[in-house]
Structure 1
């Protein structure tokens, strides 16, 4: 049974309405839209006392009725009834006010925590173009004006950034499925109330920036956990908050995440477009780490497209820019853009291009760096690339040994990407299933991850 809907009860009471009166007005609003509704006192009783949620579009009718009665805008999220069909569409929308973006993130979080249907919302390829275009146009327009010095040190913002650092560390070390719900709860209970207050412009921009960082991280965690439609919606909203904050590097960082997701899902042309949009909006001195990330993701997309020369050039530019990174001068969200990450992504580029020697060079450096840091997810991904290199050299036993290590690393984190990596290795090794070492790999994958060969 759901919890009682105290929020709805309070709004009905404030409106001075009886439950039967609300039901009648909902029926009338439905009739205006061609809906034949027959709600009565008992239906409202179930909504309030049992926390039941009527089907779409009834939550919108309830909100409209309450808005009329109270003389202010009420949304379904105000009484814990996000209209999930509308929410799935709103989550893909880039625009409107920053406050409307905050409300969309609130609704996404509530639906996410409750494991409602929104988590099954599809990834929509057509939704990628407009956000990157609008962000880039707004960013280039803002470059023509002087922005004053950024004020920092606000106590609330500093606290939010400390929490962001903590949750990002948990994602890096334990995987995206580990603490996403806790992060959503923190954002909903602490950050969102701050966003809804009036602030002086410098504080408001800083809060939007901190909220954009959190929304991005929630989206990234959902991406790593395989919830791609949900992740896409969080990332689009994070991009809009980044624009509202005036932080160009953060907006470019969100576009990098969107590019990474698009490439993983088999859309390299869109991934290339997103990475290049981020790079065009970002002046290199603003964040060499972010520029590095955009170059390496551009390389990933080019490699997936089979453009060997251009991919190699992008990798070289990523390496060159990475040499300019000064970690102490970079924002907290750029902390993960380090040698294990950059070299690991380069290894995957060369994997896709079928170039074994550079694959092994970059892959070994990435895997060793990840081992020293205790980063199992990054280690699993890099060892998997190395295993593919062994297969290309027809060293099946070495590939199987590395694959067993991938399984053991994947079992220590909550990451759907790692699971997909093991499945990919199983697929690649299927022609060699009679070899004892490959059988040991498949047995271990089944024991630790429940993955049958």
Structure 2
């Protein structure tokens, strides 16, 4: 038996609306959008007294009708409903105000944690929208160029709550790196929605406290988005990353904003949009300098190289790829881990050289594949980072195949599977899937058949 929707009942009473009056206004608003709605007082009775939830876009129309009467903004989440169609669109927007950003992230979290059935499926399968990437990156860069930053300000605010939030970020980032994005994302969403964002919503007298909270919330929203990306939830990931970018701007931390753009570039390239990936990586580089964060700059430069390598497959000059990798290597030499933020801790040789290896895989430079992938795989093994190890070993497999060293490639392919089996990462799964396609021309070889059989089992389970 469904429960009475008390928040909706209170809002309807406060607005001075009868059940029939609310139904009529919802119908009128729907007609403005080309909908033929025929609700009457019995529908509102069911929404209020029995807790029934109409399908989108009706929750947004109810909220609009209430907002008109109350003279303030009411969202579907205020009365226990989530209009997933409206939320999916709204979450692609770089909000002009921070409270709207916080509300959007909270709604994303509620949809993941509490929605069931069709509502949750709609949000979890919301598409990646290519056109949505340009606006947020432009707005972030403009706000960054307009701001004056205190370069000597300490990165960490000595406050117990904020230090605790950052401690949780450190733990969650470690779990993502070691176990994959699908392992602990729900836990982080619960923490962000239940603890961090309510703190951000409060008014704090000290500006330093408010800025530090914006920064901590931006870091966690980014990590949720990154975990969703690694878990193959690309539409959801994009929406978290855009909202994180807005909070990073509110925190006046331009390096963190550039880091978010790096994540957006990485995702765009993975999804087959290298032109957009290139633009995002270059916007990030324009917003910061090497002295701000050598690690972040090197990351943006290697992602620029990844995009250039993808474009080189379509006939663009390969020399630009090599030059971009060299710039990233040179910048990385300036990294001093103690001077970098916590989120930059894994922008290290395992990561940077692994990304470089994939650049050279795309332009078929086998010598450079071996050089960079071997260093990345060795460092990943030292740190027990299975996801990074799997990706770098896969680059070595590609190099072996390009040299026609099939048996060696198949042996290394078994290592990729062993590593991929230990993490919850759609990127690892897709890497194995990619290797099965690359091995197809050699399917008669026993070593390849053994690899394909084992890969088939992993893909079936995934």
Q: Which TM-score band applies after superposition, normalised by the shorter structure?
A: over 0.9
1:204 alignment partner in structure 2:
210
Q: TM-score, normalised by structure 1?
A: 0.93
1:184 alignment partner in structure 2:
189
1:80 alignment partner in structure 2:
80
After superposition, the Cα gap between the structure-2 partners of 1:62 and 1:288, relative to the gap in structure 1 and judged at 3 Å, is: same
Contact 1:292 1:319 in 2 (8 A): yes
**1:275-314 aligned within 5 A:** 275-306=281-312, 307-314=317-324
1:56 alignment partner in structure 2:
56
- Cα distance in 2 between the residues matched to 1:139 and 1:330: 20
Query: Offset of 1:56 from its aligned partner?
Result: 2.0
- Cα distance in 2 between the residues matched to 1:214 and 1:240: 13
- Cα distance in 2 between the residues matched to 1:395 and 1:299: 27
1:105 alignment partner in structure 2:
105
1:173 alignment partner in structure 2:
178
Q: TM-score, normalised by structure 2?
A: 0.91
Contact 1:407 1:445 in 2 (8 A): yes
Q: Identify which of 7, 25, 38 aligns with 2:22.
A: 25
1:248 alignment partner in structure 2:
254
**Once structures 1 and 2 are overlaid, which stretch shifts more, 147-156 or 82-91?**
147-156
Q: Identify which of 156, 161, 169 aligns with 1:156.
A: 161
- Cα distance in 2 between the residues matched to 1:282 and 1:164: 23
- Is residue 354 of structure 2 the alignment partner of residue 354 of structure 1? no
Q: Which runs of 4+ in 1 moved over 6 A?
A: 17-20
Unaligned runs of 5+ in 2: none
Query: Offset of 1:425 from its aligned partner?
Result: 0.3
Report the secondary structure of 1:443's partner residue. Answer: helix
After superposition, the Cα gap between the structure-2 partners of 1:31 and 1:11, relative to the gap in structure 1 and judged at 3 Å, is: closer
Query: Offset of 1:11 from its aligned partner?
Result: 4.2
- Cα distance in 1 between the residues matched to 2:408 and 2:233: 33
What CA RMSD, in Å, does the superposition of the two structures yield over aligned residues? Answer: 2.3
- Cα distance in 2 between the residues matched to 1:68 and 1:138: 32
Contact 2:29 2:61 in 1 (8 A): no
Contact 1:11 1:66 in 2 (8 A): no
Contact 1:20 1:41 in 2 (8 A): no
- Cα distance in 2 between the residues matched to 1:232 and 1:317: 28
- Is residue 448 of structure 2 the alignment partner of residue 438 of structure 1? yes
After superposition, the Cα gap between the structure-2 partners of 1:425 and 1:148, relative to the gap in structure 1 and judged at 3 Å, is: closer
Report the secondary structure of 1:53's partner residue. Answer: coil
- Cα distance in 2 between the residues matched to 1:189 and 1:337: 29
Query: Offset of 1:61 from its aligned partner?
Result: 2.6
- Cα distance in 1 between the residues matched to 2:342 and 2:151: 22
- Cα distance in 2 between the residues matched to 1:339 and 1:23: 65
**Once structures 1 and 2 are overlaid, which stretch shifts more, 374-383 or 442-451?**
442-451
Contact 1:94 1:130 in 2 (8 A): yes
Contact 2:7 2:78 in 1 (8 A): no
After superposition, the Cα gap between the structure-2 partners of 1:19 and 1:420, relative to the gap in structure 1 and judged at 3 Å, is: farther
- Is residue 130 of structure 2 the alignment partner of residue 125 of structure 1? yes
Q: How many residues align?
A: 448
- Cα distance in 2 between the residues matched to 1:433 and 1:52: 56
- Is residue 7 of structure 2 the alignment partner of residue 10 of structure 1? yes
Contact 1:19 1:45 in 2 (8 A): no
